[in-house]
Structure 1
Amino acid sequence: MDDVLSTASGVLGAAGPARALLGRLAELRNAVTALVEHRSAGDPTADDPLRGLYLSEDAVGRLLRTWPRAVPESVWEADAAPDASAEWPPDADDRLARTAARLRLTELDTAVLLIALAPDLDRTFEPLYGYLNDDVSRRRATVGLALDLCGLPAHLPEARARFHLSAPLRALGLLTVEEPERPLLTRSLSVPDRFTAHLLGDDIPDAALLGLLHPMPEPLPGAEHDAAFVRRLAARLGDGPFTVYLREHRAGDALAALASALHEAGVDALRFQGPPHHVPELLREARLTGRAAVVDGLPEHPGPMVAELSAATDVTVLLTDSRPYDPQWSAHDPLVLQAPRRPAGGTASWRTALGPAADGFDLAATVAPYHLGGEHIVRAARAATALAAFDGTALTAAHVQLAARQQSASGLERHARRIRPAVDWHDLVLPDGPLAQLRELALRARHRDRVLGDWRLSAGGGRGRGVLGLFAGESGTGKTLSAEVIAADLGVDLYVVQLSSIVDKYVGETEKNLERIFTEADRTDAVLLFDEADAVFGKRSEVKDAHDRYANLESAYLLQRLESFDGTALLTTNLRANIDDAFTRRLDQVVDFPFPDAGQRLALWRHGLSHVPRAEDVDVESLAEDFELAGGSIRSAVVTAAYLAAGRDEPVAAGDLREGARREYRKAGRLVPDETSW
C-alpha cells in the first residue's frame, strides 16, 4: 500500500498550482495510510472482501471491545498537526495556502478542505475512504473521518463547530455538508467543482454564472467633478473590502464611474447581471479570484439580494441602480453615494472611442445632445464605425447620431409612438418669429447642461434641467412637424405620447402611467411630444364633486413632475386658452403657429410639389390665392392629386390639385370657392 500511496506527487508534467496541490495530497495520503493501518490492526474483517456490506459477529465483538474508539494522537507528521486556531501561512505557488491566507482560514479548515476534495483529485482515495467509513458505498469523506484524520476527538465542541452552517468553510461556499438527516459524524463532505478547479489553476468562472458575467467598460475621460469623485472612490477601494451603493440618474453613469475608479485603483472586478439565487456563486468567485463584485442593476424587489451582498464583509461589493437606497433592504448599510451625472456631449470620451475617424466632422456639435455612459459610448462608436464601413464611406456625423440613438433606446414604446425623424428645417414654412423660437428650443436642449450645470444657473429646489415648450395653433399649422424637426436637429427620436394608454378611470392610475413616462424620458435621449395636451394639462376647476377633486390632483401632480423633469418635452394644443396658467409659467417657450397667409401657402404648395411630376400648365399661385388651407391640408390635397394622376399614369394636372383642395374644404365643412352650386 505504501508503494501505491507514495505516488502522491509524482504526476509528471504537473506545474504551478497543480504541483503544489498534489504535494499536499501526498501528505494526506500518508495520513490516510496511517489511519488505515491503525484501524486494520486487530480487525478480524480487514481482509474480508464483503467488509462494509454487513456486520459479522467478529466485527460486532471488536466494536464492543474497542468502544469508545481510541484516536491516534496524530496521523500527520509530528510537527504538522492541524491547529484549529492557527492560520495557514501563504505560499506563492500554493493556491490552497494563498486562498486560506486571504480568507483567514485556520490550518484545521485547510486540512478539512484537502480531505474533502481528495476523491475529486485521485480516485484511489474512494476505496480507502469507504474502508475507513465502514461502508464501501460511502466513498467520500465524512465529518467523523475528517476529525479522525486530523487527530481530533468527535466530542470536542471547537472541532464540531468548524462544520456549522455559519462556520467559515460553509459560509464562504467552500465546503458542503450533505445529508442533513444523518448524524453529524456520518454526513458526507464535498467541495464545489469550481473551488477544486481554481486550486488546480483553472480560472474559468463557475458554470452557474455562464451568461451572467460581463466585461467592465473601458474607462473614458470625464468631467473634472467626475475625476474628483473617481479619485476618492479609488482611494477607498485601496483600503480593503467594503460595500457601496451607487445611485445613478441615467443608465451607464454609475458603471462609467466605477470602471474609472477600479482602473485607477488597480482592482479587477466581476460585473454581474443576474437573478439573486446566483449571488453565492458570485461571492465565491470573487473570493477565489480576489476581485470586486459589481452588480449592475437590481431586481424589482432588491431587499434579499442587497442583504446577502452587504453581509459579505470580506468582498468588495459595488451595487448600482437608479432607485434611492432603502434602509429596509439590509441591516448592514452600504456606503450610499450618488453617481456623478455625465453631462451631454462628453466630447473627450467620444473622441477617445472613435479615434482619428472623428476628425472629419464637428464632433462636439454632433454628440452634444447625448447623455450616454462610458460603455454605451464605446458601443455606439463601434456601431458607427460599422455603419460607415457598410456604407463604404468615411465616418460621418449621421453615422454617429444613428448609432447613439440605437444605444439610447428606451421603454417609452409602451406608452408612446416612436418616430424616426426624416425632416429638417427646410421642411418648415413659418414666419421668422416662430421659426426663431423653435431654433432656440433646440439650442436650449443642446446646451442645457452647460448653462444650468456648469454655469450654475439652475433655479435649485430640486428642479430639473428639462426643456419644455408649448406649440399652439390651429390644426395643420405645423406643430407636430416642428417637434419632429427639433428632434431631427438634435439627432434623437420623437416619442408621441398616446393619451389612451395613460388616462385611466381608476384613481391614481393616470399619475402612475405619467410617472413611468417621465421617468423613462428622463433616462432617454429623446423628445417627448404630448399631442392635444389640453386633455392632460387642462385648467384646474372649482371643486364641486369628487371628479373635480381628482382631476385637480392629476394637474397638481403634473405641475410638480414638470419641475423635476430632465428631458425635452413639447406640448401641442389647438386651444391655448385651455392650458392651465401654472403650466404656462413653467414653459421655456410658447410658440404660436399662425394660419398661413397667401405667401406662406404658396411656399407650402411648392414644397409639397417639389418631388411630384406635374403638368406645365399648373398655376400654383392661383391655388394659394383661391384656397385658404393650412399646411397639413395642403399636403393632403397634394397627396389626393398625386393618386388621381397616378391612376391615369400621367403627371399631376391643375384639375387634380384643385380637386384635392376642394375635398379638403368639404372635409372641413366649408364652402368651396369655385363651385357655383351644391
Structure 2
Amino acid sequence: MSAPETVEEADRAVLVAELDVIRARLRGDDPAEAATGLATARGRVEGATFLDDIARGFGLTPFERAVLLLAAGPELVGETAQDIAAAGGDPRPTFALALAHLPEPHWSALTPHGPLRRWHLVRSVEPATPTRSPLVVPERVLHQLVGAGHLDAELARVARPVPEPQEPPAPLAAAAAGTADAWAEGRIVALTGPQPGNVLAVAAAAARAAGGRRLYRISAADVPRGSEGRERFLRLLERESVLAGCGWALDFDDARDEDAAALIRALPSLDVPAVVLGHEGPPPEGAVRITVPRLGVPERGAALREALDRRCRPGAAPPPEESARAAGVFDLSVPDLEAAAGEAARGADLWTACRLRARSGFPGAARVVEPRAGWDRLVLPETQLTQLRALVGAVRHRTRVLEEWGFGAGATRGLGTTALFAGPSGTGKTLAAEVVAKELGLDLVVVDLSQVVDKYVGETEKNLGRIFDAAEDGSSVLLFDEADTLFGKRTEVRDSHDRYANLEVGYLLQRMESFRGLAVLTTNARSALDQAFLRRLRVVVTFPYPDPAAREALWARAFPARTPTDGLDPRRLAALDLPGGAIAAAALTAAYLGAERGGVSASDVAAATRWELAKSGRPGGGG
C-alpha cells in the first residue's frame, strides 16, 4: 500500500500539469487533454499552490505567470528544453517565444518595471536583447515553486531573525497594533523608544500580527551603498516578503551619516512591512513615527512573573515577592526579562541575573564597578551614617512609596534620588557610594566626566543622556566624582560659550529631576555648585575631615587581619594629619615595602606616611 500523497507532492503534480499545457502549446498540439490533466491534479489540492501564492503576491497576469513557469520548465521537467528548442531553436525560453505561443501576451511583461523583472522572478541572460535573451529563474524562486523555500542567500548573509515574541504587555501591544495598522496602509514605521529591546519586541509582535510574518533585522550599514546595488537590495526585500512572509527591521545604529541619508531617501519606494530603528534624523517620507514607552512597574512585574512561570519547573520559580522586588528595581526590556527568567530557570539568582542584564548598556564614558566595600569600611560620625542608611532605604522602598502608596502618580519629575557627598579630598565620599551600592545589591557606575564633556554644542547633553538612559534600565548607582567641574555655577552670559555652558547645566537640572535611579555626586567644594542645582538634591551628606579619634579608627582598620604587622600603634599614627584616603594609600604602600621581609613594620609605615604628606607639600613623618 503506497503512502498518501503529501502536500508538496500534490502541489508539484499541479505544477507539472500546468507546464504540460504550456508544452502542448509550444508543440502546436491541442492543449485540451493537458488541461483535463491539470483539472484532475487541481482536484487533489486543497487551497492555493505555491505558484498560486507567487502569482497573487506579485500581481502576475496569466501571461506573466505562464512566462515564469515556462522559464522554470527546463529545471522542473527535462523534456521541456526539447520542446522549447523545437519551437524556438534554443533550449532556453525567450520573451519572443512566449509572445508567440502563450495566450494573452502583452509587451509590458518585458519591461524593467513589470513584476517579472522588477522583483527578479526571471532573469535575462543578455539584458541588451530583452526579446531574444534566454530567460532563467533564480534559484531562490525555483525552490519556492516546488515548496522548498528558504531565505535568499544574499539576504541571509546580513539578515538576523528576531526571536518570536510572547504576547507583549498592553503598552507594547498597543504600539505593535499601531505598527501593523500603518503597514496595512502601505506605510513604513519609524519606531523609537528609550529601550531598544522593547522597540524590537514591538516590531516582532507587529510582524506576527500582520499575517504571522517572521521579522528579520538588517543593519543599514550592510545595505549596498551605490544607488544601483541599493535599489536591487530593496527589491530583494520585497521579493522575500512575498516568498517567505517576512517583515524587516532596518537598524541605523551603525550606519555612516551619508549612507543613512541615502537609504532614508530610498525607503519610500519600499513596499513591504518594514520598521526603521535607531535613526535620529527625519524619518522616511510618508513614514509613521511611533514611540515605544517604558513599561510601568506593574506591567514589568507581570511580564517577569509570566516568564518565570512559563520557563521554570512547577514549584521551582522564585517567590512572587522576589520577582516583584527585582521588577521594581530593574527597568528591563521584555527580551531582557525573558533572558533573566531563563537564567533563573537554570538555577541562577534572579536578582543577579537582572543586574547583569542591566549592565550592558553603558557607553564608554561610564565604568561599571561591582561594589565590594561594606559598612565596616566607613569611619564617619553617626549623623552621616544615619543619612547614608536613610538614603539606602529611600532607594530600596522606592517602588512601595511611588507605586503602591501613590506618590509617583501623575509625576514625571522629582521621582529619583539624588545625593551630594561633599567634603575634603580623601574623606570617604567615593567609598561611601560603593558601600551604598553594595547594600542595595546594585552596580556602581563611575562616570568619567573628561569623556562626557564635549566642546561641540549639544554633545555633552547627548553623552549624559545616554548614561542616564542606561542607568534608568539598571537602577544602577551613578557616581559623578568631582561633579563641580560639570555641575558648577551658571555664569553671566558674556559669549556663546557661556550660553551653551548654562544650557548644559539646565539640561542636567531637568534630567536629574526626572531620573528614577540613584545619582551620587561628590565635590570637594560645595560652594562651587549651582544653587538651583543644590535645591533639587534630596540628600546632602557632609563628610568631615577626620579628627584624631576618627584617624585612630581608620588606622586600626587600614591593615586587613591577615596582614602581619609589627609594632604599629593606631593612636600614635593618628597624630599624623592625614584623611582616610591618604591613610588607606599609606597602608597599601607600607604593605608593599614590608612584603619583601614578610611583614609590615613601623618604619615601613613611617616611610609611607612621609610620602603621603609630601604629596600635599607637607613635611613630617611618624612611626
Q: TM-score, normalised by structure 2?
A: 0.80
- Find the aligned partners of 2:252 and 2:459 in 1 and give their Cα distance: 26
Instruction: Please report how far the alpha carbon of residue 576 of structure 1 lies from its aligned counterpart in structure 2 after TM superposition.
Output: 0.7
> What's 1:61 paired with?
none
Instruction: Please report how far the alpha carbon of residue 403 of structure 1 lies from its aligned counterpart in structure 2 after TM superposition.
Output: 6.4
Change in Cα spacing, 1:458 to 1:109, as seen in structure 2 (3 Å) is farther
Q: Does 1:226 align with 2:226?
A: no
Change in Cα spacing, 1:512 to 1:366, as seen in structure 2 (3 Å) is closer
- Find the aligned partners of 2:81 and 2:26 in 1 and give their Cα distance: 14
Q: Secondary structure at the match of 2:196?
A: coil
Where does 1:486-501 land on structure 2 (aligned, <5 Å)? Answer: 486-501=436-451
**2:101 alignment partner AA:** L
Q: Does 1:396 align with 2:349?
A: yes
> What's 1:150 paired with?
102
Q: Secondary structure at the match of 1:640?
A: helix
Find the partner of 2:73 among 104, 111, 118: 118
8 A contact 1:177–1:187 mirrored in 2: yes
Q: Secondary structure at the match of 2:131?
A: helix
> What's 1:94 paired with?
49
Find the partner of 2:193 among 224, 248, 260: 248
Q: Secondary structure at the match of 2:542?
A: strand
Unaligned runs of 5+ in 2: 39-44, 224-229
Find the partner of 2:550 among 591, 600, 604: 600
Change in Cα spacing, 1:265 to 1:434, as seen in structure 2 (3 Å) is farther
> What's 2:148 paired with?
202
Change in Cα spacing, 1:208 to 1:667, as seen in structure 2 (3 Å) is same
Where does 1:370-449 land on structure 2 (aligned, <5 Å)? Answer: 370-383=330-343, 395-396=348-349, 400-401=351-352, 404-406=355-357, 408-413=359-364, 415-445=365-395
Find the partner of 1:591 among 537, 541, 547: 541
Find the partner of 1:288 among 224, 230, 243: 243
> What's 1:647 paired with?
596
Change in Cα spacing, 1:195 to 1:252, as seen in structure 2 (3 Å) is same
**1:646 alignment partner AA:** A
- Find the aligned partners of 2:447 and 2:476 in 1 and give their Cα distance: 12
> What's 2:227 paired with?
none
- Find the aligned partners of 1:448 and 1:544 in 2 and give their Cα distance: 42
Q: Secondary structure at the match of 1:587?
A: coil
8 A contact 2:442–2:476 mirrored in 1: yes
Change in Cα spacing, 1:567 to 1:253, as seen in structure 2 (3 Å) is farther
- Find the aligned partners of 2:180 and 2:164 in 1 and give their Cα distance: 20
Instruction: Please report how far the alpha carbon of residue 252 of structure 1 lies from its aligned counterpart in structure 2 after TM superposition.
Output: 1.1
> What's 1:484 paired with?
434
Q: Secondary structure at the match of 1:120?
A: helix
8 A contact 1:342–1:373 mirrored in 2: no
**2:558 alignment partner AA:** G
Indicate the structure (1 or 2) with the bigger Cα radius of gyration. 1
Find the partner of 1:540 among 485, 490, 493: 490
Instruction: Please report how far the alpha carbon of residue 546 of structure 1 lies from its aligned counterpart in structure 2 after TM superposition.
Output: 5.5
> What's 2:41 paired with?
none
Find the partner of 1:348 among 275, 296, 305: 305
- Find the aligned partners of 2:617 and 2:246 in 1 and give their Cα distance: 73
Instruction: Please report how far the alpha carbon of residue 110 of structure 1 lies from its aligned counterpart in structure 2 after TM superposition.
Output: 2.2
Q: Does 1:321 align with 2:273?
A: no
8 A contact 2:124–2:134 mirrored in 1: yes
**1:582 alignment partner AA:** A
> What's 1:28 paired with?
19
Instruction: Please report how far the alpha carbon of residue 167 of structure 1 lies from its aligned counterpart in structure 2 after TM superposition.
Output: 3.1
Change in Cα spacing, 1:663 to 1:364, as seen in structure 2 (3 Å) is farther
Instruction: Please report how far the alpha carbon of residue 235 of structure 1 lies from its aligned counterpart in structure 2 after TM superposition.
Output: 9.0
8 A contact 2:337–2:354 mirrored in 1: no
- Find the aligned partners of 2:339 and 2:553 in 1 and give their Cα distance: 43
Instruction: Please report how far the alpha carbon of residue 367 of structure 1 lies from its aligned counterpart in structure 2 after TM superposition.
Output: 5.1
Deviation sequence 1:281-340 (CA, Å, 0-9, x none): 443333223454455666646566567666555x544x263556835x123x33634345
- Find the aligned partners of 2:207 and 2:496 in 1 and give their Cα distance: 56
**1:143 alignment partner AA:** F
- Find the aligned partners of 1:364 and 1:610 in 2 and give their Cα distance: 38
> What's 2:138 paired with?
192
8 A contact 1:349–1:377 mirrored in 2: no
- Find the aligned partners of 2:304 and 2:606 in 1 and give their Cα distance: 52
8 A contact 1:540–1:552 mirrored in 2: yes
Find the partner of 2:480 among 523, 526, 530: 530
More helix per residue: 2
Instruction: Please report how far the alpha carbon of residue 560 of structure 1 lies from its aligned counterpart in structure 2 after TM superposition.
Output: 4.6
Q: Does 1:569 align with 2:519?
A: yes
8 A contact 1:405–1:491 mirrored in 2: no
> What's 1:334 paired with?
288
**1:24 alignment partner AA:** L
Find the partner of 2:421 among 465, 471, 474: 471
Unaligned runs of 5+ in 1: 1-11, 39-73, 83-89, 154-158, 389-394
Percent identity among equivalent residues?
35
8 A contact 2:191–2:290 mirrored in 1: yes
> What's 2:608 paired with?
660
8 A contact 2:249–2:277 mirrored in 1: no
**1:326 alignment partner AA:** P
Change in Cα spacing, 1:231 to 1:507, as seen in structure 2 (3 Å) is closer
Q: Secondary structure at the match of 2:446?
A: strand
> What's 2:163 paired with?
216
8 A contact 2:420–2:521 mirrored in 1: yes
Change in Cα spacing, 1:266 to 1:580, as seen in structure 2 (3 Å) is same
Q: Does 1:164 align with 2:111?
A: yes
8 A contact 2:576–2:622 mirrored in 1: no
Instruction: Please report how far the alpha carbon of residue 160 of structure 1 lies from its aligned counterpart in structure 2 after TM superposition.
Output: 1.7
Instruction: Please report how far the alpha carbon of residue 373 of structure 1 lies from its aligned counterpart in structure 2 after TM superposition.
Output: 1.8
- Find the aligned partners of 1:110 and 1:464 in 2 and give their Cα distance: 65
Instruction: Please report how far the alpha carbon of residue 473 of structure 1 lies from its aligned counterpart in structure 2 after TM superposition.
Output: 1.0
Instruction: Please report how far the alpha carbon of residue 409 of structure 1 lies from its aligned counterpart in structure 2 after TM superposition.
Output: 0.9
